[in-house]
Amino acid sequence: ETGVTQTPRHLVMGMTNKKSLKCEQHLGHNAMYWYKQSAKKPLELMFVYNFKEQTENNSVPSRFSPECPNSSHLFLHLHTLQPEDSALYLCASRSTGLGANVLTFGAGSRLTVL
Amino acid sequence: GESVGLHLPTLSVQEGDNSIINCAYSNSASDYFIWYKQESGKGPQFIIDIRSNMDKRQGQRVTVLLNKTVKHLSLQIAATQPGDSAVYFCAERYSGAGSYQLTFGKGTKLSVIP
């Protein structure tokens, strides 16, 4: 357990479904991230939140909608996804203190879109 | 564009031998580098990091070497154990314009032969 908890661990959804991924961190960090991990591709940054404010949106399609109600929780709302969106979605957090560089990742949510 | 890549996608090592995982980076302005280990079914876990003002850093059984002249990063694992079997990612950070964003490589799969 890294201190970053993601639920659900596995999710199968149809293209017309609406579902959400949840991330919770117990580390007192102020920055939270969503990454997409696809087979044979590098980790792709999707969104960044600092102190609940979105600071980066890496040209992610609008069918992915993030929400950060507080510094400890991060959601990724999914709607009208495509089969190519099937991937492992990783949440990470980081302290924003001086010199803090290390991202702490959760175990990921494995998403399959049928 | 700038990218981080890995020389070898797979590496098989006999238990007890030393492992060397290589990484090339292309942004000469990157100031921070980090190695992550990802075991099956888990998220990436921090191993070791190094700043660009250093050329070597040692941890427990791991050493990271940075050669800025040829823009090369390596991770050395001493006395490789079966528990070291995983995918290893390098990542670089360019902190220009205040951005924290890490750029990840594709990963090298390390298999330890008992």
pLDDT in tens, B21-75: 999 998 898 999 999 999 998 999 999 999 999 999 999 999 999 999 999 999 9
Q: Does pLDDT of B2 surpass 50?
A: no
**Integer CA distances (angstroms), B78 to A59, B38, B67, B91, in order:** 41, 18, 20, 21
Reply yes or no: is the peptide bond before residue A8 cis, omega within 30 of 0.
Answer: yes
Out of B41, B46, B104, name the one closest to residue A42 (CB): B104
Q: Do A4 and B46 touch (CB under 8 A)?
A: no
Give the residue among A48, A50, A46 at the shortest CA–CA distance from A64: A46
- Give SS3 for B86: strand
Q: Does pLDDT of B8 surpass 60?
A: no
Residue B32: closest C-alpha in chain A:
A101
Task: Please list every residue in chain B whose beta carbon sits closer than 8 Å to the beta carbon of residue A40.
Answer: 106
pLDDT: is A24 or B9 the higher one? Answer: A24
Task: Output the tens digit of pLDDT for each of chain A's 114 residues.
Answer: 679 999 999 999 999 899 999 999 999 999 999 999 998 788 999 999 998 899 888 899 999 999 999 999 999 999 999 999 999 999 999 988 776 789 999 999 999 999
Out of B32, B44, B99, name the one closest to residue A105 (CB): B44
Task: Please list every residue in chain B whose beta carbon sits closer than 8 Å to the beta carbon of residue A43.
Answer: 44, 89, 91, 104
* The predicted structure's pLDDT at residue A98: 72
B49 at A interface, C-beta within 8 A: yes
